């Protein structure tokens, strides 16, 4: 099974189109995600959603910079441009989960000076009130 899960940032705002026969709606947009190393340029990937997901993508109004977790199928299409064959990678989305920016961004330096809440006391089992005698063991 081809399942691909990606956390990425919206790079272009989604567009909604219809197939030529107006039977299906399709939405597509570009996302970007960091390369393997810090000095690598971010990679970009086209994300496509069909029918109900296409409508949902437009309704949620994802904007450039929004962080998403995208689940779907990864496809590599071969297209011909100017006599050369070119491979184009595309993610056909099945589910999209927005990530709250407050959760995903690191703490600000001002937050580091905030007092830390005391940790809850560790659980200690209650002390045994009656200690069994060695003779009371039933074997």
Q: Does residue 118 sit within a domain? A: no
Q: What is the mean pLDDT of residues 23-27?
A: 90
Q: Taking 80 as the threshold, does the pLDDT of residue 91 lie above it?
A: yes
CATH code, domain with 97: 2.40.50.140
Domain around 77? 4-102
Residue 35 is predicted with a pLDDT of: 84
Q: What is the mean pLDDT of residues 110-114?
A: 47
pTM over 0.85, yes/no: no
Q: Taking 80 as the threshold, does the pLDDT of residue 84 lie above it?
A: yes
Q: How far apart are CA 87 and CA 94, in angstroms?
A: 22
Handedness of CA 5, 86, 11, 42 (dihedral sign): positive
Q: What is the mean pLDDT of residues 24-30?
A: 93
pLDDT tens sequence across 30-63: 999 998 888 889 999 999 999 999 899 988 889 9
Q: Does residue 46 sit within a domain? A: yes
Q: How far apart are CA 3 and CA 25, in angstroms?
A: 22
Question: What is the domain count for the chain?
Answer: 1
Q: Does residue 135 sit within a domain? A: no
């Amino acid at each position: 099974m081809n399942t691909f899960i990606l956390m990425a940032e919206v790079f272009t705002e989604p567009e909604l189109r219809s197939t030529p026969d107006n039977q299906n709606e399709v939405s597509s947009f570009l996302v970007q995600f960091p390369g393997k190393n810090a000095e690598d340029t971010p990679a970009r990937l086209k994300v496509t959603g069909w029918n109900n997901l296409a409508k949902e993508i437009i309704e949620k109004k994802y904007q450039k910079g929004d962080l998403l977790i995208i689940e779907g199928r990864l496809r590599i299409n071969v297209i011909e441009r100017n006599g050369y064959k070119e491979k184009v990678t595309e993610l056909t989305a099945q589910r999209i989960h927005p990530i709250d920016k407050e959760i995903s961004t690191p703490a600000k330096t001002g937050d580091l000076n905030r007092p830390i809440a005391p940790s809850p006391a560790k659980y200690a089992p209650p002390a045994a009130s009656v200690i069994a005698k060695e003779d009371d063991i039933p074997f």
